[in-house]
Every structure is written in structure tokens, then in C-alpha cells.
Amino acid sequence: MRISGFSFARNAVKFYFPIKEAILSILPIVDEFVLCLVEGDADDTTREVVESIGDSRIRIVEGVWDEKMGARGYSRLTNVALDECGGDWCFYVQADEVVHEDDLPVIKARCEQLLEDPRVEGLIFDYLHFWGDYQHYQTSHGWYQKEIRVIRNGLGIRSLRTAQSFRHPDERRLTVARSGARIFHYGWVRPPRLMLAKQVESSLHREGREAAAAQYGGMNALDFGPLGRLPVYTGMHPAVMQARIAAMDWQDDLRMVDGPDTVRGEIHKDERFKYRFLSAIERWTGLDLNHKHFGRVLRV
């Protein structure tokens, strides 16, 4: 059995993505890692950082960013990397996602166990979405609890839309099994100034220049809001993240509660009534009401 790792990147280091840690986190169980890399801005060092890993299994393929595609360009670049994968299974990790070393034997064992079961087209992972720092995380409605990150090769499966997930070319959902593993998602853990810069960049791709200006114009940094509203993670982070976590230097820019003179520039999704209401229903019923890209979950 062979496992291929794959991802894409553009300006990853410039915008504080833990891309090195993402690659290192799954490298022990993959036979190759394919990165579709778009040449970034002059001040971006993503290529140098990835090459510094110094592992012959890592292969960089050149990608070209198509401004006309907007956020759909993410899936196109993901598919460039996917098409270069030669493994039985393809393990996708985005540049802000990291896998815990304790879960690697579990993932590999599941791939071996399910290799001869053609019903299983992918594996889903449980998500931890960290917010603002490395302690607080999002559990509200609108933050997907599970997503596909391992897919069976040779079925024509594609990354679609904004590259969050995978489907068949005709957009049929995949039949999946549980991986028993977690994805540590650090996409919202950045210095507030860089978090804003990344959001502006994403908004330009997704909604266009006018929408980005309307939402973020005049802001100097992203306000994460009062972190005291969120649960606190008490477990261990992946070992590859320890140095980055220790280097965090924006704690003084965060707050646990709003003060009497606090002026909020933005109310986040989890603070809005609609999402608080749906989150309460999910807690009371145990149901996950979030939109899902995968179909049937096999009990195997």
C-alpha cells in the first residue's frame, strides 16, 4: 500500500500559514508529498521553507494562479497536485492544517484495513478549529465538525469549489468511513495584523475588490472579539507545532472579555443570533446540522 500526501500553497509563509509543520505532520506515513506551489510575492519565502525540510519524498510542481477563477482557483491548484499522486490513497493537508503524531498509526492502519473495500471512497477527520490563539477553539454551527482528507486514488475524485472537500466529477458525494483521527486547523491563529491581511486576500478572491473594501476597509488588524466566549483546549498540540506555539507574541493584542469602552469593528459568525440558536439545538440534540460534502458514512 502506498499513500501520497498533497497540498497547494501561495504566499503561505507571508501570511503565517504553518505549511512546514503541515507537511512534516504527515510525512512519516506518506511515500511521497506533492505540493503545487504558485510563485508568491517578492517577500514570500514558501519555496525556501519547504525545500529546507530536505526530504526527497517532497516534490514541488509549479502552479499558476488564475485571477479570473476567484476562490475556485484553490480547487484547481489542489487538483494539479492530486493528479501527480501515485499512491493507493491520497492524503490532503492544507497549509494551515496539522495532524497529531498520535493519530498517524491510526490513519495508516485504517488505510490498510480499508484498502480492499471498494465501497470506501474517502476517510473523514474530526476538526479542531483554533481561534485567535492556541487555546481557544470554535464549536459553533457553521464550523464544520468533520471533513474528507483521505481519498481513494483512481476514481476521478476532484477537489471542487473552494477546495474545502472532494466529490466525484458529477458532484456526487463520496461514500466515506471514519478515520479515527483529528485535523488541528490553525487558519485563524495569526497575529491580528496578518490575520486581517490574509482575510483581505481571501475576500479579494472570493467576493472581489469592492466587497473586500466594504468589509475590511479602514481596519488595521482583525478583532477576534472576546475569547472568553469560546471553550479552552486542554490537550496536547502536535509536536511539530511546539516551537511555533512557543513563539506566539500577540497575546497582549487579545482579550477575554469586552470592556465597557470596547468598540467592536466586526461581530463574528459564532456571535450572531442565528448561529447561536443553531449551535444550541446541536448541543441539545447531538445533531450536526452543518452542510456536509460527504455522503454515506460506513460503519466499518
Tens digits of residue pLDDT in 103-150: 999 999 999 999 999 999 999 999 999 999 999 999 999 999 999 999
Tens digits of residue pLDDT in 220-247: 899 999 999 999 999 999 999 999 999 9
Average pLDDT, the chain: 94
Q: Which grid cell is 206?
A: 472570493
CB of 182 within 8 A of CB of 99? Answer: yes
Residue 200's pLDDT band (boundaries 50, 70, 90)?
confident
Tens digits of residue pLDDT in 50-96: 999 999 999 999 999 888 887 888 999 999 999 999 999 999 999 99
pTM of the model: 0.96
Q: Which fold has domain 1-281?
A: Spore Coat Polysaccharide Biosynthesis Protein SpsA; Chain A (3.90.550)
Q: What is the pLDDT of residue 103?
A: 98
**In the chain, % of residues over pLDDT 90:** 85
Q: Where are the alpha helices (DSSP H) in 83-224?
A: 104-114, 192-206, 209-216
Cα(279)–Cα(282) distance, integer angstroms: 5
Work out whether the CA dihedral 115, 121, 127, 132 comes out positive or negative.
Answer: positive
Domain borders along the chain are 1-281
